[in-house]
Amino acid sequence: MSPDAHWNPRPPVSPAIGDHDVPLDSEHLTGKHVALLVTGGIAAMKSPMVARALRRHGAQVTAIVSSEGLRYVTEDTLAWSTNRPVVTQLSPRAEHLSGNEPFDAYLVAPATYNTINKMACGIADGTVTATLASALGRLERGECAVLLCPTMHGSMHTQILSDSLVRLQSFGVQVIAPRDDYGKHNLPDEEPIVRAVCRALSRSSLRSRRVLVTGGPVPAPLDAVRRISSRFTGALGIAIARELDLCGCDVDLVLGSGSIAAPAWIRHHIARDVTHYRSLVLDALERPAHAAVLSAAVADFAPQEVREGKVPSGTGTWSVELQPTEKVIDAVHRLHPSLPIIGFKYEEHCEVDALLKIARARASMHGACVANRGEDTPDGGVQTAWFTAAGHDPIRITGKAHIARAIREHLERVCQAHPMAHAAQH
């Protein structure tokens, strides 16, 4: 019998939080009030998880559920997941008008065939549809965002539905693409739903601005199979791309081969090797960009000769002469001298003062630098780094999410100070 077959019962050892509380992933929705409208589809059973996912980004969530929706999710579950009273029917308080606590966003998840078509035709015959009638009026005045997550069997995707969705989108309603599985429009995972809400409500100066982000190990080939690479994973580059994407930024992500997978909704390319990485970066900057965040761990050395095919194993020793590779960040700075660049510097067995001296020099040249040492981030530990912007003292930051947030805030300040800079470099 496997030694893992029996669990030795013991109390939880993880940090405790309140029963209704959620850990914060970001503050992108802090101060925002989101109406979660739950209609009568089987996907309503997932609505409590959607509510908690919104709260993990700081949102206050009020659930408004139809009588049909209550067939698939209970009022108690929605109250627990939102930590607020649930609206199941309208009263003299006119909950659908949200007068005292106006909603910043209305999210219909799931949005059924019935609700979508009623909404498009202006029918307000129930709690959810009456709320949506008010939402469309507020949307016309630019007072809120309205988002739909269509869910239904494929046989119900009719021309009537298509026409309704096209009409609603012409009003400014945002449709979150469903997950296509088993001949059905299924509710997406929580992350792309929350992403859509964050982007819809963003007031960041980076909104719609294009930023290039790179990350992960960029190898140098030895032969057709083997390569020289590093132990980095690309997790920080992806965290930076996520943070910028949530604030509405137009992100181009270049990851080195061997990185962890990027979210499907972030536009990304995989660099096979150093030469391919250089090409992808410079090609991406042929289109106007507002900044470049170059966190990729590019191989500093490459063999003078790359052997064709696969060198047979067991054939004795193989001597390889290495030569330095080109610093792509220097090529970017040379070709785009006005482009704000955030570079990265990693050292081992380096005193902090020496590391910060390097970071300041890099920041004075490119605009900003993130520097860290191996001894500050032991295996399995939380990454610690120093963020240095030109003309400012270094800031010590712990954790990839906080590093990504510091980069986003720096780029927002750059865009606020120079709103038209870098948009038309060519």
Q: Identify the band that residue 14 occupies on the pLDDT scale cut at 50, 70 and 90.
A: confident
Q: What is the pLDDT of residue 424?
A: 42
Q: What is the pLDDT of residue 3?
A: 61
Both structure tokens of 205: 């100066």
> Average pLDDT over the chain, rounded to whole?
92
Look up tokens 């992960």; give the residue: 216
Q: Which among 8, 22, 96, 98 is positioned nearest to 54, based on CA atoms?
A: 22
Number of neighbouring beta carbons within 10 Å of residue 105: 24
pLDDT for residue 422 is more than 70: no
What are the structural domains, with CATH classification, of the chain? 33-201 (3.40.50.1950), 210-303+317-417 (3.40.50.10300)
pLDDT digits (tens, 9 = 90+) for 57-112: 999 999 999 999 999 999 999 999 999 999 999 888 887 887 778 999 999 999 99
Contacts of 291 (CB under 8 A, 6+ apart): 209, 211, 212, 339, 340, 341, 342, 411, 414, 422
CA distance 232 to 258: 9
pLDDT digits (tens, 9 = 90+) for 215-267: 999 999 999 999 999 888 999 999 999 999 999 999 999 999 989 999 999 99
Number of neighbouring beta carbons within 10 Å of residue 1: 5
pLDDT for residue 120 is more than 90: yes
Contacts of 41 (CB under 8 A, 6+ apart): 69, 72, 110, 112, 151, 152
Q: Identify the band that residue 4 occupies on the pLDDT scale cut at 50, 70 and 90.
A: low
pTM for this prediction: 0.91
